Amino acid sequence: MSTDSALLAVLLTIVTASTPLLLAALGELVTERAGVLNLGVEGMMVMGAVAGFAVALTTGSPYLGIVASALAGAALAVPFGFLTLNLVANQVATGLALTLLGLGLSGLIGESFVGQPGVRLAKIHIPGLSDLPFVGPLLFGQDVLVYLALALAVFVSWGVFRTRAGLVLRAVGDNHASAHALGYSVIRVRWLAVLFGGALSGLGGGYLSLAYTPQWIENMTAGRGWIALALVVFSSWLPGRLVIGAYLFGAVTILGFFVQGLGVGVPSQLLSSLPYLVTIAALVAISRKRGGGGDAPACLGRSFVPDR
């Protein structure tokens, strides 16, 4: 294999590894901008993975699988929203319970699908452009979810910082009492943000079982939901930085496999832990730099009870 071919293969793999992180992290960014801390990203991702795989396998359509994965993620976000927004339950404890629920429920649903070959999401081919040397497959030969993730990053950035709805979202996250006093429905805004976050987390999980490795394996998210949570902090709640962070962490993930392929005498366990070590290091560095506060929404994780 030539150097260009090897480099292209590595870059394509990085894009594939980064996309589920980007999708899930974008959803969590919107959720946290509304002042809600949902630690159930891992559970919503794995439910999206099993639902997308099951629907794609039974219908033969990976695109229906994409829809199913988003719906599954949003459906699992419903009990979280009801408990934390309507019943004012603790957001941290409820999010952790959501992750456990998602992992257990997905294992139960996916038991009959273990070992079955899945339906792979096809890559887009644009005549002329996709056939260009090197840049063709990299820029014009990805699957639809890669382009959707990047489009969503632009949409979220524009929506959060350039629209009235985004202003309301940030107002609810920064000072929910003032937003309520101005006549905005804090609970409704947060419900929409939670459902949006759940849908994108489900899409991230669906990408794993439809494009990354088109098969179902129990707990196939392997901690990616926690990395997505860390990415939101790493990016200072800014979508542009989130894209850079997602591809950086995707590159770190692939680096471990690439080094193993070169036969370097480094324990495989250490290489597999690289993304999580980088996650911890990034969080510590950001915490030290900003004194623990950072640019987080002021009401993040704080429950809201409307005046009666």
Q: Which domains does the chain have, with CATH numbers?
A: 3-290 (1.10.3470.10)
Tokens 């071919």: give the residue. Answer: 5
Q: What is the pLDDT of residues 118-131, one digit of tens each?
A: 899 999 988 888 88
Collapsing DSSP to helix, strand or coil, 52 comes out as: helix
Tell me the pTM.
0.92
Q: What is the pLDDT of residues 11-40, one digit of tens each?
A: 888 999 999 999 999 999 999 999 999 999
pLDDT class of 291 with cuts at 50, 70, 90 = very low
Is residue 15 within 8 Å of residue 142, measured between CB atoms?
yes
Token pair of 47 as six digits: 């439910």
Is residue 65 within 8 Å of residue 53, measured between CB atoms?
yes
CA-to-CA distance for 37 and 122, rounded, in angstroms? 34
Q: What is the pLDDT of residues 173-194, one digit of tens each?
A: 999 999 999 999 999 999 999 9
- The distance from CA 180 to its chain's CA centroid, rounded to whole angstroms, is 29
Phi and psi at 34, nearest 5°, equal -85, 0
Q: What is the pLDDT of residues 51-83, one digit of tens each?
A: 999 999 999 999 999 999 999 999 999 999 999
